[in-house]
């Protein structure tokens, strides 16, 4: 990490945990290369360092970060039905592709000429 340290003006961050969920992270140290801090909602108070790219959004208060996370979930849920429909369509298309492949192999086996 860079040795140039700046004052942490927005010490609360949302960090991507997995698609659709962000963990609240308290930034204690910030450099040009990344942030170091801890997750207050986890049992461990281990300090970890991430690149600045890992930060989804920054806030001045923990309450602001929590509110933003909830708002993000509301916005994400608006797309759940469309994602479910697309997933169902994808599964149907994959099934049709698999069946066509097997049918093609079986058809080729039925067309095979005897070898003697």
Domain count, the chain: 1
pLDDT exceeds 80 at position 2? no
pLDDT exceeds 80 at position 5? no
Q: What is the pLDDT of residues 33-60, one digit of tens each?
A: 899 999 999 998 899 999 988 999 999 9
Has residue 47 been placed in a domain?
yes
Mean pLDDT of 13-26: 90
Q: Which pLDDT belongs to residue 40? A: 95
pLDDT exceeds 80 at position 4? no
Instruction: Please answer whether residues 30 and 5 qualify as being in contact, where contact means their C-beta atoms are separated by less than 8 angstroms.
Output: yes
Has residue 111 been placed in a domain?
no
Q: Which pLDDT belongs to residue 88? A: 98
Has residue 45 been placed in a domain?
yes
Residue-number span of the structural domain to which 19 is assigned: 5-77
Has residue 15 been placed in a domain?
yes
Has residue 68 been placed in a domain?
yes
Has residue 99 been placed in a domain?
no
Mean pLDDT, the chain, as a whole number? 91
CA–CA gap between residue 9 and residue 90 (Å, rounded): 45
* Distances, alpha carbon 115 to alpha carbons 23, 47, 108, 111, in Å: 65, 70, 15, 12
Has residue 32 been placed in a domain?
yes
Triad 62, 66, 70: Cα angle to 5°: 170
Q: What is the pLDDT of residues 68-83, one digit of tens each?
A: 999 999 999 999 999 9
């Amino acid at each position: 990490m860079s040795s140039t340290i700046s004052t942490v003006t927005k010490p609360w961050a949302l960090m991507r945990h997995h698609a659709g969920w962000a963990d609240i992270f308290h930034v204690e140290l910030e450099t040009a290369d990344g942030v170091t801090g801890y997750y207050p909602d986890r049992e461990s108070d281990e300090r970890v360092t991430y690149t600045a790219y890992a930060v989804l959004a920054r806030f001045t208060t923990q309450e602001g970060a929590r509110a933003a996370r909830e708002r993000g979930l509301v916005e994400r849920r608006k797309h759940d039905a469309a994602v479910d429909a697309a997933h169902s369509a994808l599964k149907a298309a994959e099934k049709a592709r698999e069946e066509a492949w097997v049918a093609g192999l079986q058809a080729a086996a039925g067309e095979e000429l005897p070898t003697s």
